[in-house]
Structure 1
Amino acid sequence: MKKLKQSLFLIGLMTTLTVSAQEYKVVTIIESIVPMGAGRSRIIETQGTPDVNALTTTREGNKSKQDLIEREDLKEIGENMKETKLLNFYSLVGINFGNIASNDAIIAAKINEVVKQGWSVAFITSGVESDSGTNDGKGIFITRMFFVKK
């Protein structure tokens, strides 16, 4: 009986210590806050997995080898993506709350779609670069949703 308890304890400990690999997915939402609806708003989801080691160099003091990595290699990664159209925050007369409500529904549908594929929301972060005055006329609201799958 004692050996059985010890065996069960070891099996339980091994099961607890088993590390499961996790995979992450990032979905980015860009919502334009350019006046008069002139901006572009999208949900962006990249496809495939880049070789991050091929894009990484080692810095030695002040000497960087980043110039050995071609911009075209980085741009190729972004060419293969899913793009979902959203509405802009602003219309001709100002903030358009109907557009915001439509975007909320589309974003919720996207989250539900990704969750149905077996992903879980790990965390969400956002930031804004807003219109800084009469001569700016530019701005975006960016949200990154990080999903995890075991």
Structure 2
Amino acid sequence: MPTPDVSPAAHLIAARGGRVTRARIAVLEILQDSPRSLNHDDVAARLAADGMPHDRVTLYRTLDWLVEQGLAHRIIGPDRARRFKAGGETRSQHAHFHCDRCGHVLCLESIRPEEQFALPAGYQPERAELVFHGTCADCGRQRGTKA
């Protein structure tokens, strides 16, 4: 009997030892397909557009599980909104660029805030966050055309 095609997202979830559910697959695929980081409401809207029933609590838990498993990473913007992006497999820390006009957050994976800094005796850093603020290319082009 032939085996049904299993999506790459389902393989990633199974490889982490997690239950392969429609919600987990759908959310991970949405994050993988998006060039931008997405907040909870963005993911919920895409699930609804795809006809995927969901509730807010399940979506929050699914996003948190994906982060815990290294399948996505969480970015907290200056507006305190949590945004998510697929591809956290390496769990490496990296810098981000936050557009102050549209809220877009871009991962800058080539810039790693892992430098050794001289901290006072007894202080042990657990993570570092480096965020650049400014205007993204799209907003910059829009600003240029309105001049």
TM-score bucket of the superposed structures, by smaller chain = under 0.3
TM-score between both structures, scaled by the size of structure 2: 0.23
Q: Which has the higher strand share?
A: 1
TM-score between both structures, scaled by the size of structure 1: 0.23
